[in-house]
Structures are given as structure tokens and as C-alpha cells.
Amino acid sequence: MNATQSKPSIVFCHGIWADGSCFNKVIPTLQAEGHQVIAAQYGLDSLASDVVTVKRTLGRVSSPAILVGHSYGGSVITAAGMDVITKASSWARCSARVR
């Protein structure tokens, strides 16, 4: 990565038994390394409404962006990423618990 390129943005998407705060311990570290980081906070009302929220969150960060989904969040990032392929450069699905 050269000096004119910025680091990718990161959008975290939580699982069904959590909320965006579950990423609070990793966000500051990533921000300190120069990433723009947001944890999407969606209502779990429906997959469609959660996807809309993630797309809106993607609109708040610079490109390229990495979508990271935990558990149910993996379904959300897959659906959101298909429509915003130019904005999201990577997808990651994690099943580990963030402590």
C-alpha cells in the first residue's frame, strides 16, 4: 500500500444474540491502526431491514470497505454486499466470540 492509499474501512455486523457494542474492544485498536471502523446497529426485525441498515452504514465509510459479520451478521453482509459490490471489497464471516 503506498502513501496515497488509505487503509480499508471496516463495518462490523453483529449476530442475533448481540448488538453493535460486542465489537467495542476491537474497534479502538483498528482505529489506532488507521482504519475507519463502524459497528452497524440494526433492529433484527427482518433480514431485509437489517440489510438496508448495513447498506446505509456502508454509505458512511470510505471505500474500499471490509464487511465483517458474526453469525447472523454473515447473512446480512452477504445480502448487503451483493448490492454494493463496488463499495465492499471484502467480506469476512467470524464465529469466534469477541472478548
> At 63, which amino acid appears?
S
pLDDT recorded at residue 13: 93
Is 20 within 8 Å of 14 (Cβ atoms)?
yes
Question: pLDDT means per 10 residues in the chain (99 residues)?
Answer: 69 92 95 95 94 91 86 88 60 53
Give the pTM: 0.81
C-alpha cell at 49: 431491514
Contact 88, 81 (CB under 8 A): yes
Q: With contact defined as beta carbons under 8 Å apart, do 51 and 59 qualify? A: no
Give Cα 28 distance to the centre of its chain.
15
Write down the pLDDT at residue 79.
85
In this structure, what C-alpha cell is assigned to residue 38?
A: 463502524
